[in-house]
Structure 1
Amino acid sequence: MANFISKQYGRAKTIFGMGQSIVGGFRAAYKIGAFTQPQREILPKYIQTFCRKMANSFGVNVVQVEPVPQKHGLWVSNHISWLDIPVVGSVAPVFFLSKAEIANWFIFGRLARAGGTLFIKRGSGDANSVSDQITEFLQSGSSVVFFPEATTTDGKAIKKIHGKLLQSSLDTGLPVCPLVIAYVDRDGKLSDDAAYYGKRTMADSLLRVMDNGKITAYVLPLDPIYPNGMTRKDLTETLQKNMELGLQRLHDIVLKR
């Protein structure tokens, strides 16, 4: 009975924290006029504050193993969970990609628009079209992040990287800025509760994170990769290798053996 009450209290606390974060996000957006005309040059600091509060509401503490450089470029990260969005958003000066239809969602759609999200118009899975939209976004002075594994994992390794969207780095000359994430539980092991993969539903994943209440998201920035003289194949292979080595290094630093 005591365990049941404790679990329900923890869930209620998380939902309350999420609500406070959302209300705070709307207040900040109104304050800076983001609902009428987002000021992209000042938005990243507000996005980082909002994302940090959202992560904290789920009991996820975000730790930069090394300071994340606030650099303009095409950012990429390994992909473990829906938690990756508030985690990456809390440390990197980035805007997110989203399906165009999300722009019309009542609450999160409005916040996403105010937060300068790049809404991607997909046509028959045309990655080249998406890459062109990212290129225009980068050329306007805004950094963007995507997850090149194209699917979530259990966080133990980097899956095959899909390099089509890296074309925007080649087109702009801007660097690919990789970082890697590891979710660690209170015992110093990789947190399976944080991972959203396999046949887990979103509801199941949310409850796992809520009930855990003690997850640390460690973030390690890797060296930027400049595309000068590279082909897309070269850039993809270099990124694959660097992220694999980077994730292994991160695990060596933060996990208890």
Structure 2
Amino acid sequence: MKRLRLYGRVARLLAVLGVGVLLAGGVATVQRLGRHELAGLRQRLTRWYLQRLNGALPFRVEVHGTLPERPMLWVSNHVSWTDIPLLGMLSPLTFLSKAEVRTWPLAGWLAHQAGTLFIRRGSGDSALLQRRMADSLRSGRSVLVFPEGTTTDGRALRTFHGRLLGAAIDSGVAVQPVAISYRRAGESDHRIAPFIGDDDLLSHLLRLFAEDCLEVRIDLLAPLASLGLERAELARRAQLSVHAALFGTAPEQALAA
């Protein structure tokens, strides 16, 4: 029975990926022939597609809070690659991702066609990325970043780095803190959902699909005004907000470094 469930889920995922290839290929063709700026269309189509992709993933999702009605810089804790489709199905977003994702078979190409901004750690391109993010925000397109800079197993929150939050300050938009957590039978899941260490995408997918459905809670927290704040202070406030949602209110020194 477990094997049949795995095969069924894989087949459904492959069908959804096929739709993604056709959709992304169509957008790429229109972009190439028409030479039009399609950033807004990419966001809307990506949201539509991620809603279908999430239907192929073994999750039961609860969303708490209010979706923002204006462009914001979304900042979230980061547990797995699945954070991206789970958050991306909620609102049209431009994603920021590590450069390694661009090399993933198929998934990297789809992410590129969706308009993802890629960052290579230590390359010194954060200033350019900040300008591109600020341009997106000024144009009315929300952006999602994971300011921890890496994934965790969900048991602690790493320091939020403020360098990319400067895009919110530069463009005069608020920050939307988000907390995402994975649970199984009412308890936090630290074994199946996290995508950490030497994990590869295929192994993680097979592990995820072989198990029962995971419960996912997404908290859209109170937005934070960026006006007049330094990047470090804005990052600190976002980190405290997310930490409180995940683990309960705690003194700042309790946050994991």
Please indicate the TM-score interval, normalised by the length of the shorter structure.
Answer: 0.7 to 0.9
Counterparts of residues 101-250 of structure 1 (less than 5 Å): 107-120=106-119, 124-185=123-184, 187-192=185-190, 193-198=192-197, 200-248=199-247
Report if aligned partners of 2:101, 2:108 keep a CA contact under 8 Å in 1: yes
1:230 deviation in Å?
0.9
Mapped partners of 1:198, 1:105: distance in 2: 16
Secondary structure of the equivalent of 1:217?
strand
Mapped partners of 2:200, 2:100: distance in 1: 21
Report if aligned partners of 1:55, 1:61 keep a CA contact under 8 Å in 2: no
Partner of 2:77: 78
- How many residue pairs were aligned? 243
Deviations 1:92-111 (A, max 9, x none): 32111245686687733443
Mapped partners of 1:106, 1:212: distance in 2: 24
Deviations 1:195-244 (A, max 9, x none): 12345444442232111131122111011111111111221221121111
Report if aligned partners of 1:120, 1:133 keep a CA contact under 8 Å in 2: no
In structure 2, runs of 5+ residues without a counterpart are 32-36, 250-257
Report if aligned partners of 1:95, 1:144 keep a CA contact under 8 Å in 2: yes
- CA spacing shift, 1:35–1:188, aligned 2, 3 Å: farther
* TM-score normalized by the length of structure 1: 0.81
Identity of aligned residues (%): 32
Report if aligned partners of 1:25, 1:111 keep a CA contact under 8 Å in 2: yes
Mapped partners of 1:141, 1:121: distance in 2: 25
Partner of 1:21: 16
Partner of 1:36: 30
* TM-score normalized by the length of structure 2: 0.81
1:9 deviation in Å?
1.7
- CA spacing shift, 1:210–1:102, aligned 2, 3 Å: closer
Mapped partners of 2:203, 2:2: distance in 1: 14
AA paired with 1:190?
S
Deviations 1:33-92 (A, max 9, x none): 454236333443432232232223221233212343343121111101111111111113
RMSD: 2.7
